[in-house]
Amino acid sequence: MVRGASGERRSARSGPSAAAAEGENAIAGAANSPKRSGGKWSIAPLGAEHTHGLAACHVACWREAYQGLVPQHVLDAFDVDQRAAAWERIRIKYPGHVVVAVVDDAVVGFAASGPAREQNPPTPLELTAMYVRAAYYGTGLADDLMRTVLSDEGDTSLWVFEENPRAQAFYKRYGFELDGERRVEAFTPALQVRMVRRAPRDEDRRPTPGITRRR
């Protein structure tokens, strides 16, 4: 995702994506991808050496992307150490379910997908996280992350801030379309909208370029 749009469910008590980071809504089934390189970055499953850098990236992405959309006092309250502890719990409980983009040992983006967590979900799969640092907007990093976690094996949904047209335009390039559903984000007054991507059917399957069919 461009500008940090995410479908993750969150709680005000511990910063962005707290519920998902705590494993309350399991980030299960994201790509167990081998390490791959793209340009000056590499993409690999989340490892112990990445958790603190991922937390710093996570907080920085929110502060870069959501100025004026998320209240400033919420952005200021995010704590990197708390985020790191939460991501470490995810790494242990769900190994390989989150991927990170790394440049010179610094995490500059990350993504995750897995089984949908909503009640009566519109799709079996959900893109739960897609973040890149502002310095990497437009570089192709978000595309590499998307190709790593997006599956052609099932329909996929996500939630994104309504006032984040850049992210919505990015998702539309991968076949996501607004489905008319809206909700208030978990700990801000901002509205989110849901987008859905229909996977190619067997009779007319044309895999999205760069996306590997998972078995």
Q: How many Å apart are CA 214 and CA 31, to the nearest integer?
A: 8
Mean pLDDT of the 155-179 span: 96
- Does 137 reside within a domain? yes
Q: Are 164 and 10 in contact (CB under 8 A)?
A: no
- Does 212 reside within a domain? no
- Does 215 reside within a domain? no
Whole-number pLDDT of residue 90: 84
- Does 127 reside within a domain? yes
- Cα diameter, the chain: 51
* 2: Cβ contacts below 8 Å, ≥ 6 apart: 132, 137, 138, 142, 166, 167, 169, 170
Share above pLDDT 70 across residues of the chain, in percent, rounded to a whole number: 75
Whole-number pLDDT of residue 203: 58
Q: What is the pLDDT of residues 132-151, one digit of tens each?
A: 999 999 999 999 999 999 99
Q: What is the count of structural domains for the chain? A: 1
Q: Compute the C-alpha angle 88/86/74, nearest 5°.
A: 145
Give the confidence band of 204 by pLDDT, cuts at 50, 70, 90: low
Q: How many Å apart are CA 30 and CA 36, to the nearest integer?
A: 16
- Does 214 reside within a domain? no
| Weakest-pLDDT range from 23-27, 55-59, 120-124, 206-210 | 23-27
Instruction: Provide the CATH number for the domain around residue 128.
Output: 3.40.630.30
| Residue appearing with tokens 């998902």 | 20
Domain ranges, residue 82: 2-204
C-alpha distances in Å from residue 104, one per residue of 2, 15, 39, 53, 166: 21, 26, 12, 11, 27
- Does 209 reside within a domain? no
- Does 163 reside within a domain? yes
Look at residue 175 and tell me whether its pLDDT is greater than 70: yes
